[in-house]
């Protein structure tokens, strides 16, 4: 009889928990999509791996995760290397400082937090230097909370018009965060508002601006987000457990 060391046993439990959680979240996404009459394949689950180890992320990849989200460039840099060649798509989901843009563009496939002119300018500058266009989502502060990043809904269309006047940064959609709440239903009006803003933006048919993606919904409210049209949900805790 083979007896696992405490260490091996611990990591086996970790891996099997992550497996079960990924399956559970995927199932809930499917059900929420079907409730709303949407195609479940139109929703991509981003596993938010901030504060998690490479070992935990590998368990998520083995469970079928293909999209990973980090909110800090520095932390992303520590993980992209060891996980190179695993086919993961990396999302930078947090607010981005202009002095980190160069490094961010080397690693992230999609920047979720484009929310101001100075960041746009630096993204354009660095994308042009690289000779490669950069894909981004414009973050909107739908709830108007002062603590939240994001452009105000009223400034969105002028910002998108400005973006449409250049070629290096392409907007692929919008991103938002709902206020923290125990009740997922509290998030619904904010998610709905983001979808309406995307509809308004789509009507302008601006060059370099398309509205194919809505990045909204976290562990506490991703099912509501899917019902309201999310194409990306960003889920950490429900996959990896509580953060320390």
User: Distances from the Cα of 67 to the Cαs of 25, 59, 87, 113, 136, in angstroms?
Assistant: 14, 13, 9, 17, 15
| Of 206 and 228, CB closest to ligand PLP | 228
DSSP 42-85: G-EEEEE-TT--HHHHHHHHHTT--EEEES-HHHHHHHHTTTTT
Q: Please identify which residue in 150, 184, 229, 236 interacts with ligand PLP, judged by CB under 6 A.
A: 236
Give the footprint of ligand PLP on residues 156-215 (CB under 6 A).
177
User: Distances from the Cα of 172 to the Cαs of 2, 47, 59, 210, in angstroms?
Assistant: 52, 20, 29, 5
Point out which span in 81-89, 123-131, 183-191, 228-236 binds ligand PLP (CB under 6 A). Answer: 228-236
Q: Please identify which residue in 94, 150, 173, 184 interacts with ligand PLP, judged by CB under 6 A.
A: 94
Which residues, including other chains, have CB under 8 Å from residue 197's CB and lie 6 or more apart? 140, 142, 153, 156, 174
| Of 63 and 238, CB closest to ligand PLP | 238
> From the CB of 110, what's the least distance to ligand PLP, in Å?
13
| Of 118 and 181, CB closest to ligand PLP | 181
| Of 105 and 177, CB closest to ligand PLP | 177
| Of 38 and 72, CB closest to ligand PLP | 72
Does position 234 interact with ligand PLP (CB under 6 A)? The reply is yes
User: Distances from the Cα of 177 to the Cαs of 48, 97, 112, 171, 190, in angstroms?
Assistant: 14, 18, 11, 18, 8
Does position 235 interact with ligand PLP (CB under 6 A)? The reply is yes
Query: Which residues of the shown chain bind ligand PLP in the complex (CB under 6 A)?
Result: 48, 50, 71, 93-94, 177, 218-219, 234-238
């Amino acid at each position: 009889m083979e007896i696992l060391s405490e260490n091996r046993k611990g990591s086996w439990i970790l891996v099997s928990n992550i497996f079960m959680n990924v399956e559970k979240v995927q199932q809930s996404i499917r059900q929420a999509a079907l409730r709303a009459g949407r195609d479940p394949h139109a929703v991509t689950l981003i596993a938010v791996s901030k504060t998690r180890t490479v070992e935990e992320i590998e368990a998520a990849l083995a469970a079928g995760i293909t999209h990973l989200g980090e909110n800090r460039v520095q932390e992303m840099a520590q993980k992209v290397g060891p996980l190179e060649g695993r086919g993961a798509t990396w999302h930078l989901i947090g607010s981005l400082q202009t002095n980190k843009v160069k490094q961010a563009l080397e690693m992230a496939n999609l920047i979720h937090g484009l929310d101001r002119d100075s960041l746009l300018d630096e993204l354009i500058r660095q994308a042009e230097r690289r000779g490669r266009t950069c894909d981004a989502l414009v973050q909107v502060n739908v709830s108007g909370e002062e603590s939240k990043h994001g452009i105000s809904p009223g400034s969105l269309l002028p910002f998108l018009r400005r973006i449409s006047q250049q070629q290096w940064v392409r907007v692929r959609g919008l991103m938002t965060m709902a206020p923290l709440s125990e009740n997922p239903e509290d998030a619904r009006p904010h998610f709905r508002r983001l979808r309406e803003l995307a509809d308004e933006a789509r009507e302008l048919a601006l060059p370099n601006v398309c509205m194919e993606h809505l990045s909204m919904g976290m562990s506490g409210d991703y099912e509501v987000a899917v019902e309201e049209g999310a194409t990306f949900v960003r889920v950490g805790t429900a996959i990896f457990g509580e953060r320390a």
